Amino acid sequence: MPIDWIAKLRFFLQVQAFALAIATIQYAFMPERPYAPPVVYSLLIATFTWAVIDFGREFIPSAAETGWPKGMQGLALVAAGIAVGYLGGTTLADLLCKVFHFYPPGSTPAPGELRSSILITALAGIAGSYYFYNISKGAYLERKMAEARQHTNEARLKLLEAQLEPHMLFNTLANLRVLIATDAPRAQHMLDHMIAYLRATLSASRNTTHTLQAEFDRLRDYLALMDVRMGPRLQYALDLPTHLANQTVPTLLLQPLVENAIQHGLEPKVEGGSIFVSANQEGDILVLEVEDTGVGLRGLDTGGTGFGLAQVRERLATLYGVRGQIELLDNPAGGTRVVVQLPTA
């Protein structure tokens, strides 16, 4: 597995900040002593300790949930890091302090400083290791939670799509049953359209998204199917600008809205009406609209919470959060207008 150098640098800077804090605390308790030596010792001991422990983790099998070796291997690595850090850091710090004369002339470390520096190094090494252990474990848990949320979202989408397909098929087959008894040629024509639609649906069922062109093609097949059943009571038009044809959208996003427009808007109206489906782009927002000239909101008894609207609203919230919006409006020409907004791919 490649080394994450950004993470290494982040941990290193945190270790250095921790070492500076320790040096400052030491100086605060002994202000008569020079400030430079504790800074040099703290930084070098911390650097050696960090290098042994952090790079040692790359060469010892580590637990997936923490990124740290398990059991005694982890404890041995921390102990080795503290020992090497103290010996290597103090040796190099002694040399630097002599070369650069960080101690005033005639000044030498107090006899008790050796014991206190060992204790400080051990405590700091243990505390720092425990801190970074928890950081790694927390990052792992966050990744797992994100994966779980993603799997949950995908399962919910699959469930919603599974609910939608039987809903549409039930309505179509019920209508086909009536036509077989009353108008066999039209029933045959309707069956041909349904087979073509189901073939397209089956090919797209393996994906959760497809192009806007594919979405409009499926709508065209569906509306042709409904046209056979409703005859002159249904007029429809679809407007998809060429530059938006390859935009990615969730599969079956608009069909429940079109189905709602027919079932709740046009069918209750004796003379029927028309449906117009369009797409346009406003900045980085894709705007999809389904308009009908049916009975309108006052004749709609779902209160905006019918199956189609609820299905689309839930999918938008799952996929896009607050950036996915759906709005149900009065159509100025009579009927209803549904506006769907989602970010462009």
How is the chain split into domains, by residue range?
Answer: 5-146, 183-343
Distance CA 206, CA 208 (A): 7
203 confidence band (pLDDT: 50, 70, 90): low
pLDDT at 77 exceeding the cut of 80: yes
Distance CA 288, CA 268 (A): 25
Q: What is the pTM of this model?
A: 0.53
Please give the pLDDT value at position 104: 61
1 versus 233: which is more confidently predicted? Answer: 233
Distance CA 46, CA 340 (A): 56
Please give the pLDDT value at position 120: 82
Distance CA 189, CA 185 (A): 6
- Sequence-ordered list of residues with C-beta below 8 angstroms from that of 175, at least 6 positions apart, any chain: 190, 229
263 versus 110: which is more confidently predicted? Answer: 263
Please give the pLDDT value at position 317: 86
For every residue of 6-37, DSSP letters joined together read HHHHHHHHHHHHHHHHHHHHHHHH-TTS-SHH
Residue 273's nearest CA partner among 291, 257, 293, 246 is: 293
Q: What is the mean pLDDT of residues 324-341?
A: 89
Residue 312's nearest CA partner among 148, 151, 167, 145 is: 167
* Percent of the residues in the chain that have a pLDDT greater than 70, as a whole number: 85
Core vs surface per residue 138-168: b (16+ CB within 10 A) or e:
eeeeeeeeeeeeeeeeeeebeebbeebeeeb
Residue 292, judged by CB atoms within 10 A of its CB (0-12, 13-18, 19+), counts as: buried
Q: What is the mean pLDDT of the chain?
A: 82
Please give the pLDDT value at position 176: 80
pLDDT in tens, 149-178: 767 766 665 665 555 556 667 777 877 888
User: In the chain, where does DSSP find H-type helix?
Assistant: 5-29, 36-56, 71-99, 113-182, 184-204, 212-230, 255-260, 307-320
**117 SS3 class:** helix
For the stretch 33-38, contacts whose Cβ atoms lie closer than 8 Å and that sit 24 or more positions apart, written own/partner, are 34/102, 34/103, 34/104, 34/107, 36/97, 36/102, 37/93, 37/97, 37/102, 37/103, 37/109
Please give the pLDDT value at position 288: 96
pLDDT at 276 exceeding the cut of 90: yes
Distance CA 6, CA 12 (A): 10
Q: What is the mean pLDDT of residues 280-289?
A: 94
For the stretch 140-148, contacts whose Cβ atoms lie closer than 8 Å and that sit 24 or more positions apart, written own/partner, are 140/64, 140/65, 140/66, 140/67, 141/65
Q: Kindly list the distances between the CA atom of residue 252 and the CA atoms of 161, 204, 266, in Å, as whole numbers in the listed order.
A: 8, 9, 21
CA angle at residue 88 from 86 to 92, to 5 degrees?
115
237 token code pair: 């038009």
342 and 249 in contact (C-beta within 8 Å)? yes
Question: Which range in 19-33, 58-72, 233-247, 289-303 is most confidently predicted, on average pLDDT?
Answer: 233-247
Q: What is the mean pLDDT of residues 261-266?
A: 88
Q: What is the mean pLDDT of residues 33-52?
A: 89
The type of residue at 207 is N
Residue 54's nearest CA partner among 63, 43, 67, 42 is: 67
Of 17-31, 100-114, 201-215, least confident by mean pLDDT is 100-114
pLDDT at 47 exceeding the cut of 90: yes
pLDDT in tens, 220-252: 888 888 887 788 899 999 999 999 999 999 888
Class of CATH domain 183-343:
alpha beta
274 token code pair: 């028309």
48 versus 185: which is more confidently predicted? Answer: 48
pLDDT at 106 exceeding the cut of 60: no
Please give the pLDDT value at position 205: 61
305 confidence band (pLDDT: 50, 70, 90): very low
Distance CA 196, CA 30 (A): 86
111 confidence band (pLDDT: 50, 70, 90): low
Please give the pLDDT value at position 159: 63
Q: Which residue has the tokens 């530059």?
A: 243
Please give the pLDDT value at position 303: 44
* Percent of the residues in the chain that have a pLDDT greater than 90, as a whole number: 26
pLDDT in tens, 22-42: 888 888 888 877 888 888 989
pLDDT at 304 exceeding the cut of 50: no
